[in-house]
Every structure is written in structure tokens, then in C-alpha cells.
Amino acid sequence: MADVGIFTKNADILARVGANANATAKATAATDVYVLNVESTINALTRFNWSDWYADVVDVASVDIKGILTETGASMCAINVINWDMDAIGRSVAESMITVLRDVVLRNLQILKNTNVQTFMDEEA
């Protein structure tokens, strides 16, 4: 199955779940189930269509401002992958990983909700 995400790719998710996550849960076919929902959630929560914005921004120079979207989407997906089988990683470790990922998501969503940030990213792109 192909990587279906616009700003969230399987490699970014895998970098966050670690080597011991369940192999089935971290396969591209499984993560694709989460990716589009997560990207839609980010768009809805921030009231800005980042998917369209990201697809329009193909300039390599803008890579430094697109990373926050990738980090947010990949972290949200990684939480789902870890939750799928917490025992594969170890419950205590999995809970710690989820806490860190959740903190990243909450911080980034707060940043992305800010209309000044949206304007800045749009102008810089």
C-alpha cells in the first residue's frame, strides 16, 4: 500500500514508535488507516486547511516551516500505533512514549491554531 498522507509519512511515524512496536501496527497499510483521519483532525482543530497548503508548497526552501505539520501528524499517528499493542513495547514504556507524543501534539496544535503563525507560514512559503 502507498503512503497516503499529505504531510504525514510512514517513515516519520516509525521514527516515533520505535523498533519494538508491533510489526503489523506499524506497517504502512496499518498506518495509512490513521494518517488521513489525523490530518483531517489537525485541519479541523486549527481551522485551517493545512493539507491544501502543504500540497501547494513545493518549494524546498519552505521545508523549515513544514516540519511542524509532519511532527504533529506523525506524533498523533504514533500514539495510535503504540495503543494498538502496548504490550509489544511494554506497558510502562508505551505509556511514557504516549505522554511525550501527546505533549508534542498539544504544543504544536496550540501553535498551529494561532492565526499569526498561519499567516507567517503562508507568507514564508
Q: How many domains does the chain have?
A: 1
Q: Is residue 97 part of a domain?
A: yes
**Res 114: pLDDT:** 93
Could you list the residue range(s) of the whole structural domain that residue 78 is in?
Answer: 10-124
**Res 46: pLDDT:** 95
Q: Is residue 4 part of a domain?
A: no
C-alpha closest to that of 65 among 5, 119, 11: 119
Q: Is residue 5 part of a domain?
A: no
Q: Is residue 25 part of a domain?
A: yes
Q: Is residue 1 part of a domain?
A: no
Full pLDDT tens readout for the chain, 125 residues: 577 899 999 999 999 999 999 999 999 989 998 999 999 999 999 999 999 988 887 665 566 778 999 999 999 999 999 999 999 999 999 999 999 999 999 999 999 999 998 888 877 76
Q: Is residue 2 part of a domain?
A: no
Q: Is residue 57 part of a domain?
A: yes
Q: Is residue 118 part of a domain?
A: yes
